[in-house]
Amino acid sequence: MQSQTDREKLQTAMTRADGLQMQLDEERSKHQQQMSSVRKEIGMALVREKEACIHLLQGPPDSLRDKIDVLLKQKEQLKHQLLSGGEVAFSTGESGPYLGG
């Protein structure tokens, strides 16, 4: 009789362990999908950044200094927000990625 109870307890524990392993596998899969999505977003942001740089360089040379000054200011604002742990908002129009207001 004791042997039957021990077997039942062991079976219950194994069933519970299998369920936990399935939950862990599902969480791992979800995490990997999220990481893949973030990598794609970062890659697309890098592409937009390159497009913005190309657009800037293709523009008229007389407005280049003004655009550079704006970009330097935005870069410093972004660095400050990232280092302070604040929420960063972006506007990514055709003319390039810029900090939102």
- Give 61-100 pLDDT, tens digit per residue: 888 888 889 889 999 998 998 888 866 665 555 444 554 4
Q: What is the pLDDT of residue 21?
A: 95
Q: What is the pLDDT of residue 4?
A: 78
What the block records as the tokens of 93 is 């129009």
Extended beta strands in the chain, E state: 90-93, 96-99
User: Binning pLDDT at 50, 70 and 90, where does residue 56 land?
Assistant: confident
Mean of per-residue pLDDT scores for the chain: 84
User: Binning pLDDT at 50, 70 and 90, where does residue 27 land?
Assistant: very high
CA distance 48 to 96: 6
Global pTM?
A: 0.55
Beta bridge partners of 96: 93
